[in-house]
Every structure is written in structure tokens, then in C-alpha cells.
Chain A
Amino acid sequence: GAVVSQHPSRVICKSGTSVKIECRSLDFQATTMFWYRQFPKQSLMLMATSNEGSKATYEQGVEKDKFLINHASLTLSTLTVTSAHPEDSSFYICSARTRANDNSPLHFGNGTRLTVT
């Protein structure tokens, strides 16, 4: 089945530094990828939608200059948390689908636990 690989699974960084998270579709081409953030004991909140070759669409309240998303190819999207602060500590999950507006289930990565000290 379709596999989405997310890397790294855990990262600890110092406040003020930047962290890049990669999301790869291993055996299919992902025209659309989504980035979610999961707060403790809360649901997944959609941060942004990225389509290959175009700018990401950010949800209201998500700072696009802080959470940089690049979807340069059909198999790779990256999320860069710039100038990270402790409040950015969270669980970030990416997901992918093969076609836009498709009714098929999304394929999820295993998530990245970011801790900012």
C-alpha cells in the first residue's frame, strides 16, 4: 500500500534555531500534501495544504513566514519551523493523496515530535 515516510521522528532544538521536517511519498506520486499539528490531548489541526509546484495554502492563524512549506516534487514536501520557540513544541504530521479533491483516504506519515528548549 501507499507509504508516507516522515523524517525525523524526533528532534530537539534550541530556541531560535530552525528545523526542517521532510515528508516523502515512497511508492506513489503525491500531488497534494497536508501538514497538521497535534497539541497534547487535542485533535489534529490542519496547518497548510501544499500542491506540487505551487505555493502552499495556509489555514487562518498559521504564520506562513514561520512555517515554511516547500513541495518541490511529487514525492517530497518539507516543513521548516523557523526561529523555533518552546511554544512550537508539538507533534507534526504530514499526509498525502494522489489527486486533489479525491475522496480516497489520506496516507499519513508517522509524525515528528519537535521539542524546543
Chain B
Amino acid sequence: GDSVTQMEGPVTLSEEAFLTINCTYTATGYPSLFWYVQYPGEGLQLLLKATKADDKGSNKGFEATYRKETTSFHLEKGSVQVSDSAVYFCALYSGYSTLTFGKGTMLLVSP
């Protein structure tokens, strides 16, 4: 079945540091890949997505590239801010009803 593996957190960074959150997946066919963000006390928000190999999703300074050869969709940001502190979920959709989520990675950014 489908599965998503994310690096365990928390990831603790200082403001303006470079961020990478690793995500790898297992899926049948050619899934679409997503990053969702959950700010404290809130629901999920779509951060970015990529629907085919080599696509790069980007939003709010975050980027992730769909790498079919390594089955990865790592999230990156060049300079994090305190307001980026949240839990980030990698997810895939392979056409069967709903998303398969990773366990989430908490990001803590200090001033």
C-alpha cells in the first residue's frame, strides 16, 4: 500500500537558517505529492503540491521537487522565520479516495 515517511522532529533552527525536511514515499502508479502545514491550534493548510515527476511546488518561500528516481519530495526553505514554526505533513494521493500522510515534522524556529 501507499506510505509516506518523514524525518522525525522536532527540527529546531534559528531564524534565517536553511530548512530541509525529508520526505520519501511508496506508492503504486504516479501519485501527486503535497506538503501541508498545521499551525498551533489550527487545522491543515495546503502549502504546496506537485503532480508529476520533476515538478517543483513552491509557496511562501518553501519549495519541494518531485523526484521519481529517489521517490522523494523534500521540503526546503532558504531562510526560515519564527512564524514558520508549525507541524509539516508530507502527503500523497494516488487516486484512491483520500490522502496518505506522513507522521508530521514539527519545526521550531527561535529568534
Contact = CB atoms under 8 A, between A and B. Distances in A.
Chain B contact patch, size range: 20 to 34
Size bracket, chain A contacts: 20 to 34
Nearest to A91: B43
Contacts of A103: 32, 51, 93, 95
A70 interface: no
A109 B102 CA distance: 19
Given A44-B89, A110-B42, A95 B98 contact: yes
A101 B43 contact: no
A111 B43 contact: yes
Contacts of B89: 43-44
Nearest to B94: A103
A93 interface: yes
A67 interface: no
Contact of B44 (A49, A93, A100): A93
A6 B36 CA distance: 18
Given A95-B98, A101-B97, A42 B103 contact: yes
Interface string B28-58: 0000101010000011111001010000000
Contacts of A93: 43-44
B101 interface: yes
Interface in B35-92: 36, 42-46, 49, 51, 89
Nearest to B8: A41
Interface string A25-61: 0000000101000000111101001000000000000
Interface in A87-117: 93, 95, 100-101, 103, 105-106, 108-111
B43 A6 contact: yes
Interface of B: 32, 34, 36, 42-46, 49, 51, 89, 93, 95-99, 101-104
Interface of A: 6, 32, 34, 41-44, 46, 49, 93, 95, 100-101, 103, 105-106, 108-111
